[in-house]
Structure 1
Amino acid sequence: MFLISLSAALICLIAFTTSNTANALNNGVAKLPVLGYNTWNAYQCNIDEGLILQTAQLMKSLGLQASGYEFVNIDDCWAEKNRTAAGDIIEDQVRFKSGMKWLNQQIHALGFKTGIYSDSGWFTCAGYPGSYSNELRDAQTFADMGFDYLKYDNCAIPYDSITREGEVGRYQRMSDALAQVGKSVGRNFVFSLCEWGWTQVWMWGAQLGHSWRTTGDISTQWESLTAIINFNSFLTQATNFYGRNDMDMVRNIFSGNGGLTFEEAKSHFTAWALMKSPLLIGTNLSAITPEILGILKNQEILAINQDPVIGTSVSPFRWGINADWTSNDTHPAQFWSGQAQSGTVFMLLNTLDVPSTMSFNLTESPFIRAGRQYSVRDLWTHTDNGTAVRNFTAENVPPHGIVALLLKDAGDEPAGLYPACSVWFQCTDKNGTNVGG
């Protein structure tokens, strides 16, 4: 655990705010976070054309497409182990015997878009051909196959004496290739940088792609989620329209499968959605439970993630258990807020192993106006919970659970409240007299 100085953190946040908005890769696609499916977490290398097509059909029949999930993305292990004599990367001739072009036609006909995977090194992380030195050739191949999206990984990096450049340069090569091919075919790619955050990708990723991984791979353990939330709590200003922190896939696996509890799965989905991460499902859809499906289809949470007016993430306004600006992988910030087109979003995360009552002053959020009262909408119970005046308290938040609220301005607060200010120790009369409690 370490403490980041407030002044240094504020400088970083200002830099993120100004640079990300100005340099975002606005090429007409991925203005909002991508919603879809990725094969890796559920199947790893055990994929074939039948499974991919079945997954697309399930996304449609389960109502995920109607909820906004529009991408079906194939991860590693899809190719032959060697390129052709002409140097082309091709699909596995047994597992994808009908060809990727055919498969894309079938999935596009269902109303989806499709994604493929490659790597900025010699090989992918599973040992299949990478795209280093073949960027333009492979970008053209992916376009010819009919793909709309490319996830680009960071394994098997060539020697420094070969690249003479860092990760920015290697990702720039594919970003330029995708732009060139996109211009020729009249269809721009969504470009996802799976770079793991080792060279402060949140500082430069928006210039090259639409999302960038900020951490290593997610697991199905609570400690993995809290570590990712903690790390990203210091990077929230890097996210906006056309470019965002990617917190890795949504692994909503809970009790009975050796993974998350139901409350943890809700916290996982809520934090990812409200922090405006891409939402790529990594669950076996043929075995999905109604409970998990309900989490993934929460329209009020998805509406915040897909807000067409506000592209920024929620950010912490108070850390809670720890002093503000404390980095703690097991107990990250607990009190968050952000703007939405229809109000102010609040996220309360209970990182304790026991139920907790969580309270805050409304004006701790920079988006709340003093002297006003606010109607409260619970985005998980889907209920209107009265009006908040100055403060709000969530009773008995479950262990590792979450509360997501949308507060809307409901007019002036009642007259005659004492003290005259919600933050009493700052309350001063115009003659200089302190009139606090």
Structure 2
Amino acid sequence: MVLATWKARGFGLPTIASGGLIIWVISLSQFLPVCALQNGVAKLPILGYNTWNAYQCNIDEDLILNTASLMKSLSLQDAGYSHVNLDDCYAEKNRSAEGFIVPDKIRFKSGFNSLTNKLHAMGFKAGIYSDSGWYTCAGYPGSFQNEARDAKTFQDWGFDYLKFDNCAIPYDDIIREGIVGKYERMSDAITQLAKTSGKPPIIFSLCEWGWSQVWLWGKNLGHSWRTTGDIGPDWFSLANIINFNSFITSSTDFYGRNDLDMLQLGNGNLTYEESKSHFTAWALMKSPLFIGTNLSAITPETLSILKNKEILAINQDPVVGTSISPFRWGINPDWTSNSTHPAQYWSGPSQNGTVFMLLNTLSEPSTLSFNLTESPWIRAGRQYSVRDLWTHTSNGTAVRSLTIPNVPPHGVVALLLQDAGNEPDGLEPKCSVWYQCTDKNGTHVGG
């Protein structure tokens, strides 16, 4: 378990204090304005499929097309999952004599133009993978010093999306630039290619793992950026990712977003409740949502989670692009980093009301309760209708507070609250949260 105290929405150099407490020293430069990339594509988080979690290197053109067919037949495409993305291992181990990446001659014998044409004909966008270093993470050709060539190759093959990884980094005396410059090379190549080709720019997703505070600079270069290492198929991995991202939610908006990595639903040992929490947190934090499940073996329960229209509508909100954020940590004091017990109480605005996520991080059922105005998006003196985004029921009206009993272990509650007018007259105490609540004569109220 990692336990740390965080003093602001940013990170700096860690200092180890007595008792193992990690205190982070914050640099003011981390809060300088960032100019976002606004090139007309990917305003909303991308929904789709990625091959890595289920298949790693065991991919071929038949599997890709079969997956796309299953996405249609399972109505995942209708739910908004629009991309089918290849990950690593699709190429020959060596470039051609002319320096081009070559598709694996056996597994992709028809070539990528044939594959992307078929995906486009089915109504999907197509995505591909490369690396900012010499090689990909599985040892295939990376794009370092071939950025312009590879960007054009991917476009010529018909791909719409590029996931760009962080393995096989060149020696310092060769690269002679920082991590930002290493990713800027491909970002610039994609921008220039769009200008010369007249085609929409390839959607650029940085897979940098967060080591260099990518949430502070990634918005200049791409449309999403990985903030942590790879996800694992267990609750500890999910809790760790939720905890880490709870401190950087302000980085996400229409012009770039924190990428919490691919969905692990149906993989590993996640319970049904943990899978719901996984999907809810990823969707409401406005992460891209890439399915990583073997769709030929998907269960009805997993499918129902992936197709929750009310949760997906928040992720794809065309009016509000920001993430939910914690308003109270719950088990731990506010602004405490705990990789096994992240923040429990979250909220954020949406086009249709205020969204709440309540997360039970305990291994036993728990009652979760809060005062409405703890959320900055709730108005004092008003009452709110309550919509449960998992049971798809309207659950009456909340006045001042809400209590949800018996939330399952590692379970989640997702609510949409809509203003329903003034609260009833004569309620006591005069304020639901009475700290500094004061009568006009100066008398403190409540407490």
Please indicate, yes or no, whether the TM-score normalized by the shorter chain is above 0.5: yes
User: Are the equivalent residues in 2 in contact too, given 1:17–1:238 (CA < 8 A)?
Assistant: no
Match of 1:207 in 2: 220
- Look up the SS of the partner of 1:177 in the other structure: helix
Partner amino acid for 1:302?
A: L
Which of 29, 32, 38 pairs up with 2:44?
32
User: Are the equivalent residues in 2 in contact too, given 1:226–1:331 (CA < 8 A)?
Assistant: yes
Query: For each residue in 1:357-401, what CA deviation from the matched residue of structure 2 results, as whole angstroms up to 9, or x when unmatched?
Result: 000000000000000000000000000000000000111000000
Q: What TM-score, normalized by structure 2, do the two folds share?
A: 0.94
**Aligned-partner Cα distance in 1 for 2:420–2:437:** 23
* Residues 1:374 and 1:18: Cα distance change in structure 2 (over 3 Å): farther
Match of 2:284 in 1: 274
Deviation for aligned residue 1:183:
2.1
Give the alignment's Cα RMSD to 1 decimal.
Answer: 1.7
- Look up the SS of the partner of 1:187 in the other structure: coil
Partner amino acid for 2:349?
A: Q
In the alignment, is residue 312 of structure 1 matched against residue 322 of structure 2? yes
Match of 1:4 in 2: 6
In the alignment, is residue 431 of structure 1 matched against residue 441 of structure 2? yes
- Look up the SS of the partner of 2:33 in the other structure: helix
* Residues 1:368 and 1:168: Cα distance change in structure 2 (over 3 Å): same
Deviation for aligned residue 1:19:
2.9
User: Are the equivalent residues in 2 in contact too, given 1:38–1:280 (CA < 8 A)?
Assistant: yes
- Look up the SS of the partner of 1:426 in the other structure: coil
In the alignment, is residue 369 of structure 1 matched against residue 371 of structure 2? no
Match of 2:312 in 1: 302
In the alignment, is residue 390 of structure 1 matched against residue 400 of structure 2? yes
* Residues 1:356 and 1:16: Cα distance change in structure 2 (over 3 Å): farther
Matches within 5 A, 1:236-385: 236-253=249-266, 258-385=268-395
Partner amino acid for 2:339?
A: D
**Aligned-partner Cα distance in 2 for 1:161–1:210:** 30
Count of residues paired in the alignment: 432
**Aligned-partner Cα distance in 1 for 2:8–2:202:** 38
Partner amino acid for 2:376?
A: P
* Residues 1:307 and 1:58: Cα distance change in structure 2 (over 3 Å): same
Partner amino acid for 1:27?
A: N
* Residues 1:13 and 1:238: Cα distance change in structure 2 (over 3 Å): farther
**Aligned-partner Cα distance in 2 for 1:50–1:12:** 50
In the alignment, is residue 54 of structure 1 matched against residue 66 of structure 2? yes
**Aligned-partner Cα distance in 1 for 2:37–2:323:** 18
Which of 94, 102, 115 pairs up with 1:90?
102
Partner amino acid for 2:157?
A: M
| Same amino acid, percent of matched pairs | 71
* Residues 1:350 and 1:199: Cα distance change in structure 2 (over 3 Å): same
Deviation for aligned residue 1:342:
0.4
**Aligned-partner Cα distance in 1 for 2:26–2:433:** 28
Query: For each residue in 1:171-224, what CA deviation from the matched residue of structure 2 results, as whole angstroms up to 9, or x when unmatched?
Result: 000000011112222121110000000010000000000000000000101000
**Aligned-partner Cα distance in 1 for 2:26–2:81:** 33
* Residues 1:6 and 1:124: Cα distance change in structure 2 (over 3 Å): closer
User: Are the equivalent residues in 2 in contact too, given 1:355–1:398 (CA < 8 A)?
Assistant: yes
Match of 2:21 in 1: none
- Look up the SS of the partner of 2:90 in the other structure: coil
**Aligned-partner Cα distance in 1 for 2:172–2:382:** 59
Gaps of 5+ in 1: none
Deviation for aligned residue 1:423:
1.2
User: Are the equivalent residues in 2 in contact too, given 1:29–1:242 (CA < 8 A)?
Assistant: no
Deviation for aligned residue 1:434:
1.6
* Residues 1:107 and 1:12: Cα distance change in structure 2 (over 3 Å): farther
Match of 1:19 in 2: 33
**Aligned-partner Cα distance in 2 for 1:365–1:177:** 43
Matches within 5 A, 1:179-198: 179-185=191-197, 186-198=199-211
- Look up the SS of the partner of 1:226 in the other structure: helix
In the alignment, is residue 230 of structure 1 matched against residue 243 of structure 2? yes
User: Are the equivalent residues in 1 in contact too, given 2:128–2:163 (CA < 8 A)?
Assistant: yes
Deviation for aligned residue 1:6:
5.0
- Look up the SS of the partner of 1:425 in the other structure: coil
* Residues 1:213 and 1:6: Cα distance change in structure 2 (over 3 Å): closer
Match of 2:22 in 1: none
Deviation for aligned residue 1:427:
2.0
**Aligned-partner Cα distance in 1 for 2:182–2:264:** 29
User: Are the equivalent residues in 2 in contact too, given 1:426–1:436 (CA < 8 A)?
Assistant: no
Partner amino acid for 1:243?
A: G
Deviation for aligned residue 1:17:
8.1
User: Are the equivalent residues in 1 in contact too, given 2:10–2:248 (CA < 8 A)?
Assistant: no
Gaps of 5+ in 2: 12-24
In terms of mean alpha carbon deviation, does 419-428 or 381-390 score higher?
419-428
**Aligned-partner Cα distance in 2 for 1:211–1:264:** 25
**Aligned-partner Cα distance in 1 for 2:91–2:116:** 15
In terms of mean alpha carbon deviation, does 265-274 or 180-189 score higher?
180-189
* Residues 1:69 and 1:77: Cα distance change in structure 2 (over 3 Å): same
- Look up the SS of the partner of 1:321 in the other structure: coil
**Aligned-partner Cα distance in 2 for 1:290–1:5:** 43
Matches within 5 A, 1:57-206: 57-185=69-197, 186-206=199-219
Deviation for aligned residue 1:420:
1.0
